[in-house]
Amino acid sequence: MAEPSSGIEIAAASVRLGGRLVLDGLELHLTEARIGVLGRNGSGKTTLLRLIAGLIAPDAGTVRVDGCDPFTDRRAALAALGILFQNPDHQILFPTVEEELAFGLAQQGMTQAEALARAHQALQAEGRAHWAKAPVTSLSQGQRHYLCLMAVLMMAPRTILLDEPLAGLDLPTQARLARRFAALPQRLVTITHDPATVQTCDRVLWLDDGRIVADGPPGTVLPAFIAEMARIGGQDADADLAG
Amino acid sequence: MLTLTSPVETWAHGLPAGAKLAALAIATTSLFLLDAPLTLAAALGATVLLYLTGGARFALAGLRLLRPLWPFVVIVGLWHLWTRDLSGGAVILMRMVAAVGLANFVTMTTRLSDMLAVIERLARPLSRFGVAPRRLAIAFALVIRFIPVMLDRLDEIGASWRARSPHRPRWRVLVPATLAALDDADRTAEALRARGGAG
């Protein structure tokens, strides 16, 4: 995290999925420490996250994270970016906690023995040394989220992308995770449909139908978003089909 | 439960996985070369002693892992009772239980990632034919990780069927379960890519 971070630069980026234009000519330069991306289901916010993470390539335009193309330069992308998926079961790849934690480090070039030792250290530091050999299936939903966050943090990325990080968790778990996120030195990009999750961000983007509707501090974006959601909710919402 | 490594730490947990697997290969081959009932009884006794060195809790867990063997024990036992070849039956059963017991012992005392490291080493010659050993090892780990996930998914699909139908779903869960598995495969590929790929 010592390297200078020039942030996330997206120029004229469009993404089509199954013939549908999901992101439409986005222009963004994100340098703030806490960034929120707000939008309804189907607004393209998860696609934006996957685009920034380099999991998909834009059909037009360019994406640069700290100066590198995250889709083609995976080695640089791993140092620059970590991503926390919404469902931990879509993220956890290994049967035991220590192996899950060691995997990313081994991918960054560490030997398996070093990676395992680092995993044990990290668990110790978090007061969870007894988790090391536990099967991931024995962890609760909140614990799996925590494991995924630890796995991402151990790879020491400069930016972490969070996809609905608090959805589906009970209130104490939400509070704990939120506190943990707030204390992180990394740049965080949080995508969510819930305005409360991004109210402490430095900058909030409101995404609708693949375009930026509003971009600014939460004080100006959130009231407009909440009012618009209430207006749509008052009508016969969700009758239109995508396409 | 597919995580077979025992949480009870025994002396054997510290041995290198390669050495344990090599010893297992030699022991199993010997079991098949031996056919005197007394020698095999001694081998079985030695296997039991081996388990007991890990403590009673460990030995009990090992005994529980032998449960899938019982249909074979019944069939082989009945067959040899019928043919009145009791010592022949005893030889086969003791050999089978000892061989499976020893294999389970290695599984229970070896961390999956260590086992994978051995596979990776043994598969190294295959890289000449375009099979990357690291990929092979990750594939093994993914199978072990995702079988329970897929079984859960199968249960969920069965539950949502039963929530809206008085009939049992039976084979009709297979198509949605297959599609769900393909969907999971896509997401897993993405999760792998997000953390450095399978290479």
For the stretch B117-164, pLDDT in tens is 788 888 888 878 877 777 887 888 788 778 878 888 888 888 778 777
Interface mutation vs chain A, best among B113, B190, B193, most A CBs within 10 Å: B113
The whole-number pLDDT of residue B3 equals 54
- Say which amino acid occupies A166: L
Considering the domain architecture, whether residues A102 and A222 belong to the same structural domain is answered as no
Question: For residues B110 and B18, is the Cβ–Cβ distance under 8 A?
Answer: no
The whole-number pLDDT of residue A241 equals 74
Kindly provide the ipTM of the predicted complex, given to two decimals.
0.71
Interface mutation vs chain B, best among A91, A147, A160, most B CBs within 10 Å: A91
A88: CATH: 3.40.50.300
Interface mutation vs chain B, best among A51, A52, A65, A103, most B CBs within 10 Å: A103
Tell me which residue in B117, B184, B195 faces A107 most closely, judged by beta carbons. B195
The whole-number pLDDT of residue B198 equals 64
The whole-number pLDDT of residue A238 equals 66
Domain boundary (A77, A110, A134) is at A134
- Any domain includes A23: no
| Host domain of residue A106 | 96-134
The whole-number pLDDT of residue A10 equals 94
Share of chain B above pLDDT 90, in %: 20
What's the whole-model pTM score?
0.73
Considering the domain architecture, whether residues A100 and A115 belong to the same structural domain is answered as yes
Given a cut of 50, the residues of chain A with pLDDT beneath it are 1-3
| Domain definitions of chain B by residue range | 11-110, 122-194
pLDDT in tens, B58-80: 888 888 888 888 888 899 889 98
Q: SS3 of A126, please?
A: coil
Give the angle B65-A92-A111 at the CA atoms, nearest 5°: 90
Considering the domain architecture, whether residues A100 and A160 belong to the same structural domain is answered as no
C-alpha B90, offset from chain centre: 24
Interchain CB contacts (distance < 8 Å): A and B: 77
User: Token pair of B37, please?
Assistant: 């009932």
Burial of A97: CB neighbours in 10 Å, binned 0-12, 13-18, 19+: buried
CB contact under 8 A, B193 and A74: yes
pLDDT tier for residue B199 given thresholds of 50, 70 and 90: low
What CA–CA distance (Å, rounded) separates A28 from A12? 9
The whole-number pLDDT of residue A1 equals 44
- Any domain includes A183: yes
In total, how many domains does chain A have? 2
The whole-number pLDDT of residue A201 equals 94
pLDDT tier for residue B1 given thresholds of 50, 70 and 90: very low
What CA–CA distance (Å, rounded) separates A203 from B66? 59
Category of A164 on φ-ψ map: left (φ > 0), alpha (ψ -120 to 50) or beta: left
Chain A residues closer than 8 Å to B2 by CB:
95
Question: For residues A1 and A185, is the Cβ–Cβ distance under 8 A?
Answer: yes
Chain B interface includes A135 (CB < 8 A): yes
Chain B residues closer than 8 Å to A92 by CB:
145, 191
Cβ-based neighbours of A150, under 8 Å, separated by 6 or more:
A101, A122, A123, A126
Residue A61 vs residues A15, A17, A23, B190: alpha-carbon distances, Å:
9, 15, 11, 22
Average pLDDT of the residues of chain B? 84
Considering the domain architecture, whether residues A220 and A108 belong to the same structural domain is answered as no
Considering the domain architecture, whether residues A197 and A213 belong to the same structural domain is answered as yes
Chain B interface includes A112 (CB < 8 A): yes
Phi, psi of B113 (to 5 degrees): -65, -30
Considering the domain architecture, whether residues A104 and A150 belong to the same structural domain is answered as no
pLDDT tier for residue B7 given thresholds of 50, 70 and 90: low
Considering the domain architecture, whether residues A145 and A129 belong to the same structural domain is answered as no
* Whether the predicted pLDDT of B2 surpasses 60: no
Chain B interface includes A18 (CB < 8 A): no
Dihedral sign (CA A217, A219, A221, A222): positive
- Any domain includes A107: yes
Phi, psi of B58 (to 5 degrees): -65, -45
CB contact under 8 A, B196 and A55: no
Question: For residues A214 and A43, is the Cβ–Cβ distance under 8 A?
Answer: no
Tell me which residue in A50, A94, A151 faces B145 most closely, judged by beta carbons. A94
What CA–CA distance (Å, rounded) separates A6 from A66? 5
What CA–CA distance (Å, rounded) separates A211 from A44? 8
Question: For residues A12 and A60, is the Cβ–Cβ distance under 8 A?
Answer: yes
C-alpha A81, offset from chain centre: 9
pLDDT in tens, B20-52: 999 999 999 999 898 888 999 999 999 999 999
The bridge status of strand A203-208 relative to strand A211-216 is antiparallel
The whole-number pLDDT of residue A4 equals 54
- Any domain includes A79: yes
Question: For residues A201 and A190, is the Cβ–Cβ distance under 8 A?
Answer: yes
What CA–CA distance (Å, rounded) separates B54 from B62? 10
The whole-number pLDDT of residue B164 equals 78
Question: For residues A189 and A37, is the Cβ–Cβ distance under 8 A?
Answer: yes
pLDDT in tens, B161-190: 877 777 777 788 888 888 888 888 888 888
B/e letters for A8-46, b = 16+ CB within 10 Å, e = fewer, are bbbeebbbeeeeeebbbebebebeeebbbbbbbeebbbb
